[in-house]
A and B are shown apart, each in its own frame.
Chain A
Amino acid sequence: MNYISIKNNQTISLSDIPESNYEWFYDMNLDLVLGHTERHCVNYFGYKVGNNVKLICCIADDSTHEILVSTCLVHKAHALESFCTQLLCFEKFEREIHENFGINFIDHPWLKPVRYAFNRDDMSQTMDNYPFYSIDSEELHEVGVGPIHAGIIEPGHFRFICNGEQILHLEIQLGYQHRGIEQLFIEKKKLLQRATLAEDIAGDTVIGHSTTFAHVWESLCGFEASRDIEFARTLALELERMAVHVSDLSGACTDIAYQLGSSVFGRLRTPIINFLQEWCGNRLGKGCIRPGHNQYPFTPALADRLRQVLDIFEPEYNEMAGKLFKLSSALSRFERTGVVSNADAISIGAVGMTARMTNLNRDIRSSHPFSLYSELNHFPILKRHGDVYSRVQIRKKEIEQSLNYIRKLIAEVPAQPLQTDKLKTPRPNSFCLSLVEGWRGEICHCALTDEKGELMHYKIKDPSFHNWMALALSVRNNEISDFPICNKSFNLSYSGHDL
């Protein structure tokens, strides 16, 4: 056994992570994941140590609520055996390691660039020469879309191979949003700068990413967050989930040309995000979550106000949702469109809603609980069909669940402690991993400190990192005109992926 078991948000010494040679590291991690759906890789990355690269692999075990961390030192010039021959879910991680350090993986199916990082190993790889998969055939044609799309959304390039109207294959090229965030985390020394960066990883998951960063930082500094702090985070996470889910229902209606649903769900997001503004001064919650203190304490007066907002929201939402989920013309567009099977979800390592829609139970709120989730006794909502309908249904059910949690939470607003701890400096030579279930799925941040306690490496993983592949698989054999509804029903992050 050459790994160490840690809990979510636990800081350990770097030297406590057992190191082995690559062969051992490979066999062990393969054994851990192969045939065990309760385990999956939440992060696998490298960092430079002199001329070598140190790999760190983190496998989350949902049954024991532990994360199994192991490490190994490799040299850039030595090609490594790829996990992908047996576990495709390592595909993206290995591509990332290859892009950043030039390490080759033997028998990897496609060692293509991930995001064209500014500090990539091979600068001759550019956005313009992405090696798209292509099929030489008289019958087939290719359709290229993006990077700029028709609506107001983030950029990415989609390359379809179609047989008439039917999609045979979709490949997604990302990287347009790459801002070098992980590097900036190291270079920007002020805590507020780092908190601001965390908020800007993905502007639709402000609370998710800033909570993850706060947890990492507090754990590194040995800070115990008081109840009011964790209360605010739990509440904000559920508000964010509700707001985005409602607007996704609106998006789904737009893409099947159901105008009433599109408008009503679209406007129902407003009271929720306006409440965030009443609470913390920003509609998307920027500025709300800070490591080490409660920036905008949640008062009983705010709780009353939120109750009012929800009392108006709920019947309006229920009326519209009731209508949509009885409307046969809408349901016939949702059902059996964009299917991903349970086996495929497991194989690509899907997380969050994308996993749950295929009956794969992955939800950090119950498997590695943080903040106040252990008290909420969360049961993930699962669907079985893996189609657009399952994804839309999960949103509906999770909105209802979030409403319920929010009402429970605000029934008892914790008081502000009279005395608060001060945030100290991070522990030197340490490693910390934090997992948070954002509305999309599992967010994972890992931090490493050097001997002075300075940040030495910061690794961010948005759930979209895994789930983009699910979108690509879902559209196979669908009409190309169904692409928008498939895409919207996943609603994945470009900036969270590109960093």
Chain B
Amino acid sequence: MLDNIKIVYHQGKQFIPDVKTVTVPGIFRGRPIINTEKVDEKELSALCPTNAISIHPVSIDLGKCTFCGECSLRFPTKITFTKDYKLATNDPERLIIKEGEDKPVEVNLDLVRSEIHRILGRSLKLRQISAGGDNSCEMELNAANNVQFDMSRYGIDFVASPRHADGIVITGPITQNMAKAVQICYDATPEPKIIVLVGTDAISGGIFADSPALDRRFLEKHTVDLYVPGNPAHPLTIINGLLDLTRKLK
């Protein structure tokens, strides 16, 4: 017993008091900023592994970007990655970071269905489905609920059954072999329900985008409520995204 108290005492306070303002350590690659400097745009867009960079004007699609950082290593004065981890939005337009812009990625409140805030705003239970995810986003989703990030303090939890859930969280590019299970799980979730895509693979297919082993038709049939970019998405990106979607008022 005494040992236990000692361990708890030595651990001290581990939780992050404010998940909205805390800074992450090191050289985290969060929201990129692209300045208007002239560079060889063809070369720049060609180096990207997932065709996330478009030109005229230069822009990066966070839904496709694997945050490998190569573009900023090769064109350090053109592209810099900030430590801004708030990358989640419900508006695909806002995932596209354009040249000369430096504004936060935010949830578009005009697009949020009214029942989301009203019914899911104080308690949100989610069912996670890994559909070809490589276990990196899965680990970060688990981390979002560890004692440091402690997402459950906001009443956001992951549950074992879709019957108990208010929505599904999909990771991975959705493989053919998982497509049916995704649909069954979604159908088993009661209304009103949300769909959250976590990670680049889920949002666009990422590096797997043109693989013949995928079946992404599920996403054509349903509206996505939140895109959480990252490879994998950082726990803070996930938590802030979910909070903004369900809590933020116009």
Interface residues of A (CB under 8 A from B): 115-119, 127-128, 147-148, 150-155, 175-181, 183-184, 188, 190, 192-193, 195-197, 200-204, 206, 247, 260, 263-264, 266-267, 270, 274-275, 277-284, 286-287, 295, 315-316, 319-320, 323, 493-495, 498
Assuming the A-B contacts A127-B177, A147-B178, A152-B142, are A278 and B26 also in contact, with contact meaning beta carbons closer than 8 angstroms in the complex? yes
* B6 interface residue per 8 A CB criterion: yes
Assuming the A-B contacts A153-B130, A155-B131, A319-B10, are A284 and B139 also in contact, with contact meaning beta carbons closer than 8 angstroms in the complex? yes
Q: Does the CB pair B139–A192 fall under 8 Å?
A: no
Of B3, B148, B207, B212, the contact of A193 (CB 8 Å cutoff): B207
**In the assembled complex, how far is the CB of residue B207 from the closest CB belonging to chain A, in whole angstroms?**
5
**In the assembled complex, how far is the CB of residue A487 from the closest CB belonging to chain B, in whole angstroms?**
14
Of B50, B73, B133, B213, the contact of A203 (CB 8 Å cutoff): B133
Most chain B C-beta atoms within 10 Å of own C-beta, residue among A151, A176, A267, A315: A176
* B137 interface residue per 8 A CB criterion: yes
Assuming the A-B contacts A152-B128, A192-B70, A203-B232, are A278 and B175 also in contact, with contact meaning beta carbons closer than 8 angstroms in the complex? no
Chain B residues near A320 (CB, 8 Å)? 7
Assuming the A-B contacts A154-B135, A178-B175, are A281 and B29 also in contact, with contact meaning beta carbons closer than 8 angstroms in the complex? yes
Judged by DSSP, the binding face of B is: mixed
Chain B residues near A183 (CB, 8 Å)? 211-213
Chain A residues near B47 (CB, 8 Å)? 190, 192
Most chain B C-beta atoms within 10 Å of own C-beta, residue among A155, A204, A280, A295: A155
Chain A residues near B142 (CB, 8 Å)? 151-152
Docked complex Cα distance between A329 and B242 (Å): 39
Question: Would you mind naming 20 contact pairs between A and B with Cβ atoms under 8 Å apart?
Answer: A117-B213, A152-B128, A155-B181, A176-B132, A176-B175, A176-B178, A177-B175, A180-B208, A190-B47, A196-B50, A196-B66, A200-B206, A200-B208, A203-B137, A266-B147, A277-B24, A281-B29, A316-B11, A323-B7, A494-B135
* B243 interface residue per 8 A CB criterion: no
Q: Does the CB pair B28–A264 fall under 8 Å?
A: no
Assuming the A-B contacts A127-B180, A278-B27, are A495 and B134 also in contact, with contact meaning beta carbons closer than 8 angstroms in the complex? yes
Chain B residues near A154 (CB, 8 Å)? 130, 133, 135, 138
Of A175, A204, A282, the contact of B29 (CB 8 Å cutoff): A282
4 further A-B pairs in the complex, CB-CB below 8 A; given A175-B177, A200-B134, A278-B25? A179-B132, A203-B137, A323-B7, A498-B177
Within 8 A of A (CB), among B120-157: 127-143, 146-148
Of B25, B49, B134, the contact of A190 (CB 8 Å cutoff): B49
The residue of chain A having its C-beta at the shortest distance from the C-beta of B143 within the complex is: A270
Docked complex Cα distance between A116 and B132 (Å): 13
Assuming the A-B contacts A148-B129, A203-B139, A286-B68, are A180 and B211 also in contact, with contact meaning beta carbons closer than 8 angstroms in the complex? yes
**In the assembled complex, how far is the CB of residue B245 from the closest CB belonging to chain A, in whole angstroms?**
19
Q: Does the CB pair A148–B185 fall under 8 Å?
A: yes
Size of the chain B interface, CB-CB below 8 angstroms? 66
5 shortest interchain CB distances as A-B pairs:
A203-B136, A278-B26, A180-B213, A203-B134, A150-B160
Docked complex Cα distance between A120 and B7 (Å): 53
Docked complex Cα distance between A190 and B47 (Å): 8
* Interface 0/1 of B62-95, CB less than 8 Å to A: 0000111110010000000100000000000000
Of A151, A180, A196, A498, the contact of B68 (CB 8 Å cutoff): A196
The residue of chain A having its C-beta at the shortest distance from the C-beta of B70 within the complex is: A192
Assuming the A-B contacts A178-B177, A202-B135, are A282 and B7 also in contact, with contact meaning beta carbons closer than 8 angstroms in the complex? no
Q: Does the CB pair A277–B4 fall under 8 Å?
A: no
Chain B residues near A176 (CB, 8 Å)? 131-132, 175, 177-178, 181
**In the assembled complex, how far is the CB of residue B202 from the closest CB belonging to chain A, in whole angstroms?**
12
Q: Does the CB pair B134–A193 fall under 8 Å?
A: no
Q: Does the CB pair A184–B207 fall under 8 Å?
A: yes
**In the assembled complex, how far is the CB of residue B221 from the closest CB belonging to chain A, in whole angstroms?**
19
Docked complex Cα distance between A353 and B231 (Å): 28
Chain B residues near A179 (CB, 8 Å)? 132, 172-173, 175, 208, 211, 213-214
Q: Does the CB pair A196–B172 fall under 8 Å?
A: no
